[in-house]
Chain A
């Protein structure tokens, strides 16, 4: 019970802090009126449009003081109303419903790839720590960490989509198969730094777990090497990996802004970049909320998994 209360409290605090900062910052970034009305929003377009401008300002409450606008936005948000996009008057909710699933699939995809590659790789390197295969792996993983995502995206796209034509050059989503094929290269681009991070962390933790007495006990029982690695060493070694897994949700969202644009994927990352450029505050704010909720939710989940990984972790501690 204490755990639930604490998680909810955490969610409320994070949401408040993040939206407050975002709302305040956007407020000083530009005037959304141009976006709503087009060229007539400018004073130079003549006094005959002054009335239209005043009307629009009133309709979108652009002249109200900051605390009132923020309060109104929070109130609407709590009822699930994120307002309408300034540019085309579409409800933000329908934009989210339309774009969010693609991005969620992309992120889950990237995390699945990252875990599927990094865990076996870390087990392999830890079992031969400081030998050639391990040292070579260190070089490879640091290279993976060092490549910027935008450069990797270009490289992957050119090699696999254009040169070898193994993957489509444009996003297709009529079938699940098409969707997964289209998202494969972007997911790999997002997963690459994660694979390296997870591999480094898990390898280090595995090496120290393998020094533990209970590993000697398991070896003295005559259990095979693979069994000891998977059934004794892996689970107690997953803590750092899990912690970072939760935190990486934020950087994945950052990465999706780049990757979705470069691969022309109609996801929320693509959408939010557009929205920022056209001062479409309701869209940007809604995405900020979604990201914060996702971040807190994943980290609450991570806390829950801790208790599964180690029975000594107190659920309500």
Chain B
């Protein structure tokens, strides 16, 4: 990826869940990084491991999860942080916005209580100062009548308004990194773009790094510096966003692009869905996870696990034995 030292860096992260039916290899060998103030998109369909990866960073996985590899934030190992550092890490250095704003807020607590508790715990703010800050934050996320909202309960707000509250809440302690896990999937289409643009603007205004998780490459396209495409718990392709679109190597990344509806195409044109369904992760893979659904797959794809292969200067990598494009430096 581009120059500078990474803020968050994952190296060969693997996550295995112990289940009654044996281990599930949810995430295998994922490496990615995001720099200060930059935006990284993580794209993949359901079950590709994108949320689980970020939940591992946020320490939100159940105790059945075993995590391998390294995750460092600003040089500190996140997975083995001393508890004194942990105490003011989550919600301060890193914050997270979740998929469903309808269930992200506690239904029995007023907005002000939910917004101020984090600031009061981490920064020891007085009740009044925290409230002032909450109003500022609600104005920052452009929620109308910010002061009036504080006394309301979540059910009195619409989905879009609630997601603004959740975002404002995440910004409470000026995080250096905001992780947004499909922040618009549960929202109306008209509200989706507003929320995405809001996140984009906040990142620039607050000089904050953003990890935007989505199943939609179209969402990520104009809003991120880099993209990681995941499938079956593995990184398929990783590149600067423009490179990924201009010089796609992995058949899966291409397939994802083809399944984005394009308004400039003539009416009646069919989308190209990806046939088949995501792989079963309950046994370790012997070949490429995408091989069973890949139209370019050959015999060796089923038996050989592809490794990350660089293109050019190495900011662009793909894991495919038979990549698209001719100029691959294999």
Contacts and interface: CB of A to CB of B under 8 A. Distances in A.
Interface of A: 212-214, 216-224, 227, 231-232, 235-236, 309-312
B106 interface: yes
Given A213-B98, A223-B117, A218 B60 contact: no
Contacts of B17: none
Interface of B: 58-60, 87-92, 95-96, 98, 100, 103-109, 117-118, 121-122, 153, 155, 166, 169-170, 172
Nearest to B88: A222
B95 A221 contact: yes
B292 to A, nearest CB: 33
Given A311-B155, A312-B153, A312-B155, A223 B91 contact: yes
19 contacts: A213-B103, A214-B103, A217-B96, A217-B98, A217-B105, A217-B169, A218-B106, A219-B59, A221-B172, A222-B90, A222-B91, A222-B122, A223-B91, A223-B117, A227-B121, A236-B107, A236-B108, A311-B107, A311-B153
Contacts of B107: 214, 236, 310-312
A218 B59 CA distance: 12
A214 B102 CA distance: 9
A221 B91 contact: yes
Contact of A222 (B89, B100, B105): B89
Contact of A220 (B60, B87, B121, B153): B60
Contacts of B172: 221
Given A221-B172, A222-B88, A310-B108, 17 more contacts: A213-B100, A216-B60, A217-B96, A217-B104, A217-B105, A218-B106, A220-B91, A220-B95, A220-B96, A221-B90, A221-B95, A221-B118, A222-B87, A222-B92, A223-B91, A235-B108, A311-B108
User: DSSP majority for the A interface?
Assistant: helix
B90 A217 contact: no
A232 B109 contact: yes
Contacts of B89: 222
User: DSSP majority for the B interface?
Assistant: loop
Given A220-B95, A222-B121, A214 B106 contact: yes
B108 A309 contact: yes
A220 B108 CA distance: 19
Contact of B90 (A214, A220, A310): A220
Given A222-B87, A222-B89, A312-B155, A214 B121 contact: no
Contacts of B59: 219
A136 B108 CA distance: 32
Contacts, number: 74
Contacts of A310: 107-108
Contacts of B95: 220-221
A176 B109 CA distance: 39
Contacts of A213: 98, 100, 103-104
B103 A220 contact: no
A212 B95 CA distance: 18
B179 to A, nearest CB: 8
A232 to B, nearest CB: 5
A219 B88 CA distance: 12
A222 B98 CA distance: 15
A224 B88 CA distance: 10
Contacts of A227: 117, 121
B186 to A, nearest CB: 10
Contact of B106 (A220, A224, A236, A309): A236
A214 B91 contact: no
A232 B118 contact: no
B117 A231 contact: yes
Contacts of A232: 106, 109
Contact of B105 (A214, A219, A231, A312): A214
B108 to A, nearest CB: 5
B187 to A, nearest CB: 15
- Residue among A218, A219, A312 with max Cβ neighbours from chain B (10 Å): A218
Contacts of A220: 58, 60, 90-91, 95-96, 98, 170
B200 to A, nearest CB: 21
Nearest to A213: B103
Contacts of A217: 96, 98, 104-105, 166, 169
Contacts of B103: 212-214
Nearest to B155: A312
B105 A221 contact: no
Contacts of B153: 311-312
A214 to B, nearest CB: 4
A221 B104 contact: no
Contacts of A311: 107-108, 153, 155
- Residue among A213, A227, A235 with max Cβ neighbours from chain B (10 Å): A213
A36 B117 CA distance: 69
A234 to B, nearest CB: 10
Contacts of B117: 221, 223, 227, 231
A63 B121 CA distance: 75
Contacts of B90: 219-222
A214 B98 CA distance: 9
- Residue among A218, A222, A224, A235 with max Cβ neighbours from chain B (10 Å): A222
A304 B106 CA distance: 21
Contact of A216 (B98, B118, B170): B98
Nearest to B100: A213
A310 B109 CA distance: 9
A213 B89 CA distance: 20
A191 B59 CA distance: 40
A219 B92 CA distance: 12
Contacts of A212: 103
B158 to A, nearest CB: 15
Closest 6 CB pairs between A and B? A222-B91, A222-B90, A221-B91, A213-B103, A221-B118, A220-B96
